[in-house]
Amino acid sequence: MSNIKITCIIVDDEPMALNLVESYVEKTPFLALKKKCSSAIEALEFIKNEPVDLLFLDIQMPDLTGIAFSKMVPKETRIIFTTAFDQFALEGFKVEALDYLLKPFDYAEFLEAANKASKWFSLTKGSQQSNVSDEKEFLFVKSEYKQLRIKLDNVLYFESLKDYIKIWLKDNPKPILTLMSLKLLEDELPSSKFMRVHRSFIVALKNIEVIERSQIIINKQRITVSEQYKTDFLQFINNNSFNS
């Protein structure tokens, strides 16, 4: 088990749920509770002044939902959703939640989610110096005699076309075309955000909308996960699954 201490807050508008999760946090040695909040607005004010590593976050709350709040927190702060409703699993996936605890959950289920957080922080905090590529936020690519700055957050997927690559972006119906090999591009991209799933495709993991058998759907485009990359992709799915 990692020696890293994970700071956290609990956000839930139900007092009984707050107290239950607090009792679970207190018996988990690697978690350090900083605050209990009865609303997302209260939590937002708190983390502005005192950032934390992890949120145990309810989804259905008045004024500001957990999903809306999760999009406002710093990217370094990770989230474990706690909710009585399973229909929000896809939304949780899109905001890159570490886990999704379905109420009522016991301490064993809580500890499994907390251990997942511990593993994640051990890997990231323990190797921040060596994972420079994971911090990359943009690429410069040459297209039509110009060097274009491509924000990685805007990328849907990369598609290989012989010696060229099509870069498909959000809110842009036409791709950017650049002369580059997909292998070279793969080495340059942060592996936590992008995955090669086919000899012709690299996808932005957070923009996956639907997974249907061996196909990914991103922005209405169907992309087949080939056998060569299926093992790594299934591992990614298992690590981010909210199904019990």
Phi, psi (5° rounding) for residue 144? 50, 50
User: pLDDT band at residue 135, thresholds of 50, 70 and 90?
Assistant: low
Q: DSSP strand E in 170-225: where?
A: 176-179, 194-198, 201-204, 210-212, 215-218, 221-224
Structure confidence at residue 8 (pLDDT): 96
* Cα Rg of the chain, angstroms: 20
pTM, entire model: 0.52
Q: Share the mean pLDDT of the chain.
A: 85
Q: What is the pLDDT of residues 170-191, one digit of tens each?
A: 988 899 999 988 888 888 888 8
237 against 56, higher pLDDT: 56
Tokens of 110: 């809580």
Q: What angle do CA 69, 202, 209 make, to 5 degrees?
A: 40
Task: Taking residues 126-148, report their average pLDDT.
Answer: 69
The proportion of the chain whose per-residue pLDDT surpasses 90, expressed as a percent, equals 47
Tell how strand 155-161 and strand 54-58 pair up: unpaired
Q: How far is CA 71 from CA 64, 106, 132, 230, in A?
A: 11, 27, 24, 30
Q: Which residue has the higher pLDDT, 48 or 202?
A: 202
Is the pLDDT higher at 93 or at 20?
Answer: 20
